[in-house]
């Protein structure tokens, strides 16, 4: 089979898979997500039983995820400084969780090192779409982080926070 034939076969397979996804679940996902199993991928990454992770999630370094946690599409899990996520969490689409940055390295023209600090997310945590979690943050069990929030300090268990920067709301 030459490359042209393979391309045609893949196009036909893509058509069938996306039609099935639309019929069965009323959604359209990327080619990679049509071709992979979110639960198998999570298992391959060593995440806990029942957890799922879309194919288009970027996973870097040391990332630990508990059981029954959902990692949505287009998420960045930066574990360069160590990242731990508990059980029964929802990490919504587009969330970025960082455990390192290159500010000092860039501004020193490469003379300074990258900076690292671990992030710990407890169990039963909901992180809304497009939220950004900065390195060194700990989020307690049962916390809720609102959509598009920037979290640059620790969050107490059960807290409800949102905003830029994120603050607890009444």
The highest-level CATH class for domain 37-168 is: mainly beta
Q: What percent of the chain has pLDDT over 70?
A: 98
pLDDT at 160 over 70: yes
Confidence of residue 51 (pLDDT cuts 50, 70, 90): very high
Q: Model-level pTM?
A: 0.89
DSSP string for the chain = --HHHHHHHHHHHHHHHHHHHHHHHS----HHHHHS-HHHHHHHTTPPTT-EE-TT-EEEEEEEE-TT-EE-TT-EEEEEEEEEE-SS-EE-TT-EE-SEE-HHHHHTTT-SPPEE--EEE-SS-EE-TT-EE-TT-EE-TT-EE-TT-EE-S-B-TT-EEEETTEEE--
Catalytic residues: 101
């Amino acid at each position: 089979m030459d490359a042209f034939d393979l391309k045609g076969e893949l196009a036909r397979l893509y058509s069938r898979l996306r039609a099935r996804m639309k019929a069965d679940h009323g959604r359209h996902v990327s080619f990679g997500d049509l071709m992979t199993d979110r639960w198998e991928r999570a298992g391959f990454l060593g995440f806990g039983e029942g957890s799922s992770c879309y194919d288009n999630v970027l996973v870097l370094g040391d990332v630990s995820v508990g059981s029954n946690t959902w990692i949505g599409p287009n998420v960045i899990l930066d574990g360069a400084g160590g990242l731990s996520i508990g059980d029964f969490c929802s990490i919504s689409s587009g969330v970025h969780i960082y455990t390192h940055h290159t500010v000092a390295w860039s501004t020193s023209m490469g003379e300074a090192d990258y900076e690292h600090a671990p992030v710990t997310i407890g169990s039963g945590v909901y992180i809304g779409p497009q939220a950004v979690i900065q390195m060194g943050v700990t989020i307690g069990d049962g916390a809720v982080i609102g959509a598009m929030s920037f979290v640059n300090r620790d969050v107490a268990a059960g807290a409800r926070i949102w905003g830029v920067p994120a603050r607890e709301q009444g």
